[in-house]
Amino acid sequence: MSRAAPILTVLLAIVVIWYLAAIGMNAQWAQDQAARAGTELSTQALIADTMTQDRPVLPTPHQVAVGLWDGLAGQAITSKRSLVWHGWVTLAATLAGFGIGSAAGILLAIGIVHDRAMDQSVMPWAVASQTVPILAIAPMVIVVFASAGVTGLLPKAIISAWLSFFPVLVGMVKGLRTPDAMQLDLMRSWSASRAQIFWRLRLPSAMPYLFASLKVAIAASLVGAIVGELPAGATSGLGARLLSGSYYGQTIQIWSALFTAAALAAILVAAVALVERITLRRMGLAR
């Protein structure tokens, strides 16, 4: 209870601020409507109205909750209005992008650590790739793939991988370089090959770094997948829900999709953290 109290206090504060903001932001529209109808709104009626609009500037927490519930549980999961279905579409692209991105990051890191030329040439390009706004890249990737006849999951996964390879690359370069001079000298004194040094010393040493960067990468993958859905004609996925919501002023729909994405990110990061705990404990690195 003593640990739950501060968390609940913060949560309660956020909800209260949210309600106050909703009343303030939605009041203008309510008053415009009343003025147009030639009526005068009492304070009580005004507050009630700000909480029940169809397209509020800022929906109240309970409206979002209802929208979320309806999207998650109120629809058949094959329905185009189901957040489960849209979430699944995004999740598939996220996981594919995470796989591609992590593999690319790990392979590039291995190259950088073992090859002088790669060490000096790859990193500037990797950094440059991350300074280009992903929103500018995404449509080009979609268009290029579409012209080759590839649509759907793969182009989204590529955009997702674009964001997720970088943290893995940086973490793995650092991790593969953690063994100190003495440990490398020991290996040398045994005339160990590079492959033996990699599998027996560098890779195990890098595991804590790998998992730390995988947690960042999987969240970035989700962002990439959602961004990849925006220019794709917006038919499926959480990104599509966000886009169509903004087209039609369906703010409740936008917020519901946002919360679904946030929950999805939390679940994915927690899943990586679980694998991390099991792996490191089995390796004897966590106790």
Partner 1 sequence: MDLTINRGEFVSFIGPSGCGKTTFLRAIAALETPTGGSLTVNGMTPDQARRARAYGYVFQAPGLYPWRTIAGNIALPLEIMGFSKADRRERVERVLGLVELDGFGGKYPWQLSGGMQQRASIARALAFDADILLMDEPFGALDEIVRDRLNEALLDLWAKTGKTIGFVTHSIPEAVYLSTRIVVMSPRPGRITDVIESTLPRERPLDIRDTPEFIAIAHRVREGLRAGHADEA
Provide the binding-site residues for partner 1, judged by CB under 8 A. Answer: 182-183, 185-192, 196, 200-201, 204, 207, 283-285, 287
Shortest Å distance, C-beta 285 to partner 1: 6
Neighbours of 39 (CB within 10 A): 9
Nearest to 70 by CA among 81, 54, 57, 86: 81
Cβ contact 123:166 at 8 Å: no
CB nearer partner 1, residue 172 or residue 238: 172
Measured between alpha carbons, how far is 14 from 7 in angstroms, rounded to an integer?
11
Shortest Å distance, C-beta 270 to partner 1: 24
CB nearer partner 1, residue 146 or residue 192: 192
Shortest Å distance, C-beta 190 to partner 1: 4
CB nearer partner 1, residue 51 or residue 192: 192
Neighbours of 281 (CB within 10 A): 11
Shortest Å distance, C-beta 279 to partner 1: 10
CB nearer partner 1, residue 171 or residue 231: 171
Inter-CA distances, 88 with 83, 105, 154, 195, 244, Å:
8, 25, 15, 39, 18
Cβ contact 225:159 at 8 Å: yes
Shortest Å distance, C-beta 195 to partner 1: 10
Cβ contact 238:90 at 8 Å: yes
CB nearer partner 1, residue 136 or residue 181: 181
DSSP string, 75-97: S-TTSTT-HHHHHHHHHHHHHHH
Shortest Å distance, C-beta 184 to partner 1: 10
Question: Phi first, then psi: what are they for 51, rounded to 5°?
Answer: -95, -5
CB nearer partner 1, residue 87 or residue 208: 208
Cβ contact 98:160 at 8 Å: yes
- In the chain, what is the straight-line distance between the N-terminal and C-terminal CA atoms, in Å? 27
